[in-house]
Chains A and B, each alone.
Chain A
Amino acid sequence: DTGVSQDPRHKITKRGQNVTFRCDPISEHNRLYWYRQTLGQGPEFLTYFQNEAQLEKSRLLSDRFSAERPKGSFSTLEIQRTEQGDSAMYLCASSLRGRGSSYNEQFFGPGTRLTVL
Chain B
Amino acid sequence: KNEVEQSPQNLTAQEGEFITINCSYSVGISALHWLQQHPGGGIVSLFMLSSGKKKHGRLIATINIQEKHSSLHITASHPRDSAVYICAAPYSGGGADGLTFGKGTHLIIQP
Contact = CB atoms under 8 A, between A and B. Distances in A.
Nearest to A34: B98
A42 B101 contact: yes
Interface stretch (B14-22, B69-77, B86-94): B86-94
Contacts of A97: 96
Interface residues of A, number: 31
B48 A41 contact: no
Contact of B42 (A55, A56, A106, A110): A110
B3 to A, nearest CB: 12
Contact of B30 (A35, A55, A91, A102): A102
Contact of A105 (B42, B45, B97, B104): B45
A46 B43 CA distance: 17
A72 interface: no
Interface of B: 1, 4, 30-31, 33, 35, 41-45, 48, 50, 86, 88, 90-92, 94-104
Q: Which 4 A-B pairs have the closest CB atoms?
A: A103-B95, A42-B101, A103-B31, A45-B98
